[in-house]
Amino acid sequence: MTKSPKYMEIVNWTEKQIAEGKYKPNEKFLSESKLCETFGCSRQTIRRAFDILEQRKLITRIQGSGTYISSLDLHNSLKNSNNRIISKTIGLISTFLDNCVFPGIIRGIESVLSAEGYAVQLISNNNLVAGEARALQLMMKRDLDGLIVEPTRSALPCVNIDLYQEAIQSGLPLLFIDSFYSELSVPYIALDDEKAGYVATEYLIKKGHRNIVGIFPHSNRQAHLRYLGYVKALSNYQIPIQEHLIFWHSKEDMQQVIHGHPLYKCILEECTAVLCYNDVTAMMLISYISKNGINVPSDISVIGIDNSELAKFGDLTSIAHPADQLGEAAAKMILSMIQGFEGKTILFPPKLIERSSVREIILK
């Protein structure tokens, strides 16, 4: 993690001294010259730290007298000034706790935050917009140092934009993981989903496949980006985009689409390969067609995205999701934002994990 500037080190040290009761309300604080000597820095650096501490209502500077600890109640002062240092707690809102990649993400987040003395408060919203609203409202009532959110149905308009803007305006460091809302200028950390869709499709093309089905959920941005990668790969290899080979589904009708006659007919009569949005979709499809006498990969090739345990168990070729690394990067980024640095978007490049679910077709 990037080292924080000297003035922020002084700010954080001062806050800790106050929080631990080493300096009491109305007590005179150290002079600029003493702090310069302690931290080996210039008066300008000390004054910048004092500016921040005064903005947070932790100190008061009196000309000709010195610097004093604020007379306000410490806890309320920290809370009202949007400074949550004493909480040492990060909020985390997820869509599903049983998502294939989420355990790795939370493992990565906790490994970094626990080493820095932070706790994680976790809320799942079950991928419901109303659940996201409740989770945001609960989180904003708590003393948090930062908030990490996995957006809900991120391809749809952000219904809870007012709550997000309220959090941003309060000064709460906010970071998205796995996706983002286009309406908000909030940094996010995710797999490069467009490139993942491209790499998966290109792999099938290089294996000789031309009629490639794509299956995507329509409500999340990751799916839209993977679809975009799929389309770009077909276009770049001058393969016509066939709309009837593209299947969109919601969470509610996923099984109906995968078990439906139109998709089954495509697999029987026309396509040679299927790109699935994720490993769950891929394994659900493989289970259904196998029961109907269609074998993978001899009759149809299938590729997924996530490289979850399902993929390993099912010997499924897949694009790896960097869950643990993503979680670690998110934790480091939110800590950096808490220290006053600007948040940055990070996209992880996709990595293909080749197994036995795709066969090569020799083109004539």
CATH number, domain of 31, equals 1.10.10.10
Q: Residue 1: pLDDT above 50? A: no
How many domains are contained in the chain?
3
Is 329 found in the same domain as 184? yes
Predicted local distance difference test score (pLDDT) of residue 87: 75
**What global pTM score does this model have?**
0.79
Who has greater pLDDT, 362 or 159? 159
Cβ–Cβ under 8 Å, residues 330 and 189: yes
Helix (H) or strand (E) holding 188: strand 188-191
The phi, psi pair for 224, rounded to 5°, reads -65, -40
In a domain, 356, yes or no: no
Q: Which of 104, 93, 299, 118 is nearest to 181 (CA)?
A: 93
Do 246 and 183 lie in a common domain? no
Strands 66-69 and 59-62: antiparallel
Query: Does residue 20 sit within a domain?
Result: yes
| Omega of the bond leading into 297 within 30 degrees of 0 (cis) | yes
User: Which residue range is the domain that position 51 belongs to?
Assistant: 6-80
Q: How high is the pLDDT of residue 191?
A: 98
The predicted structure's pLDDT at residue 263 = 97
Is 355 within a domain? no
214 alpha-carbon distance from chain centroid: 24
Amino acid at 287: S
Question: What residues have CB less than 8 Å from 219, skipping those under 6 apart?
Answer: 153, 154, 155, 156, 250, 251
**H or E segment to which residue 108 belongs:** helix 102-115
Q: Is residue 203 part of a domain?
A: yes
What is the mean predicted confidence (pLDDT) over 5-9?
A: 85
Q: Is the residue at 233 inside a domain? A: yes
SS3 content of the chain, % helix, strand, coil (to 5): 45, 15, 40
End of a domain among 48, 64, 80? 80
> What is the model's pLDDT at position 74?
47
Answer yes or no: do 92 and 160 share one domain.
Answer: yes
Residues 132 and 220: their CA atoms lie apart, in Å, by: 14
Distance from C-alpha of 28 to C-alpha of 70, rounded to nearest angstrom: 10
Neighbours of 33 (CB within 10 A): 10
Of 84 and 286, more confident: 286
Of the two residues 87 and 308, the one the predictor is more confident about is: 308
User: Do 185 and 328 lie in a common domain?
Assistant: yes
Share the mean pLDDT of the chain: 91
123 lies in the same domain as 223: no
Is pLDDT above 70 for 77?
A: no
Report the CATH number that the domain containing residue 145 is assigned in CATH: 3.40.50.2300
Same domain, 207 and 123: no
The residue type at 40 = G
102 is a domain residue: yes
Highest-confidence range of 13-17, 110-114, 285-289, by mean pLDDT?
A: 285-289
Of all residues in the chain, what percent carry a pLDDT higher than 90?
76
Looking at the predicted structure, is the pLDDT value of residue 75 above 50?
no
* Amino acid 3: pLDDT: 58
Q: What is the pLDDT of residues 157-212, one digit of tens each?
A: 999 999 999 999 888 999 999 999 999 999 999 999 999 999 999 999 999 999 99
Kindly state the average pLDDT of the residues 267-283.
97
Asked if residue 359 belongs to a domain, the reply is no
* Interval 56-72 mean pLDDT: 84
**Both 35 and 113 in a single domain?**
no
Q: Does residue 18 fall inside a structural domain?
A: yes
Q: Whole-angstrom Cα distance, residue 59 to residue 51?
A: 9
Res 80: pLDDT:
35
Structure tokens at 254: 């996923």
Quick one: 182 and 215 in the same domain?
A: no
Contact call for residues 316 and 279 (beta carbons, < 8 A): yes
| 3-state SS assignment for residue 249 | strand
Q: Are residues 116 and 177 part of one domain?
A: yes
Judged against a pLDDT cut of 90, whether residue 95 lies above it is answered with yes
Query: Are residues 113 and 102 part of one domain?
Result: yes
Q: Give residue 86's pLDDT band: very low, low, confident or very high (50, 70, 90).
A: low
26-50 pLDDT, tens digit each: 899 999 999 999 999 999 999 989 9
- pLDDT: which is higher, 201 or 81: 201
Answer yes or no: do 166 and 202 share one domain: no
- Pair 317, 202 in one domain: yes
Q: Is the distance from CB of 57 to CB of 77 less than 8 angstroms?
A: yes
Q: What local confidence, expressed as pLDDT, does residue 72 receive?
A: 56
pLDDT of residue 99: 80
Q: What share of the chain has pLDDT > 70, as a percent?
A: 95
Q: Which of 15-19, 89-93, 240-244 has the lowest mean pLDDT?
A: 15-19
pLDDT for 230 beyond 90:
yes
